[in-house]
Chain A
């Protein structure tokens, strides 16, 4: 059973650029959630995808968008990057037992905006 994998692991972008982060969900999991974790804070919910559709969204502006593919993998896109977007971006996958067993997280993509 493969876990959640994210790519790239680290990324440096310039303010105003666009970035795409990728996530492969754990085998058997059909739901993918994305979180942003700033230094010293807990992860903040960005959005969740289920069956290729957005299934809930946190308090993030529209320049944060995403996709889910038929194989349940997912992308997070951020346009017009701002310095405050610098953070660890975590992808988590879950299945039908999420209520009992929570989510499985990938190791994250550390984004630095300069």
Chain B
């Protein structure tokens, strides 16, 4: 089982619509959580951190459910510029690897006019 799993998509989203997707993680000792955005052939960029109480940044809302070990991202009023791959990232301390970020495979979102 992968440490961090995501639906690869693509999620085809009409412009202006809402899209949501989840990510599950296997290590219950995971300490912090992030969503990164990656555009084609570019580096990942931090979109937002995910807090236990849930947090919102403009049109983006992230939720964390520690009991069920999943993280979600919701995008409201989708823009064409939201088209990207969204990477779920978990920070954990591993005996062999130390303190490391573990990435899911990414969820591809395509916003269409």
| Chain A positions near chain B (C-beta within 8 angstroms) | 33, 35, 41-45, 48, 55-58, 88, 90, 92, 98-108, 110
Contacts and interface: CB of A to CB of B under 8 A. Distances in A.
For the residues of B in contact with A, the DSSP-based class is strand
Contact of A56 (B42, B96, B106): B96
Given A55-B98, A58-B97, A99 B44 contact: no
Contacts of B87: 42-43
A105 B101 contact: no
Contacts of B105: 41-42
A33 B94 CA distance: 14
B26 interface: no
Contact of B94 (A56, A90, A103, A110): A56
B103 interface: yes
A42 B49 contact: no
A102 B100 contact: no
Interface in B58-72: none
Interface size class of B (residues with CB under 8 A): 20 to 34
Interface of B: 4, 6, 31-32, 34, 36, 41-46, 49, 87, 89, 91, 94, 96-106
Nearest to B100: A45
B101 A45 contact: yes
B96 A57 contact: yes
B104 A102 contact: no
B32 A105 contact: no
Given A99-B31, A102-B34, A108-B43, A43 B98 contact: no
Nearest to A4: B43
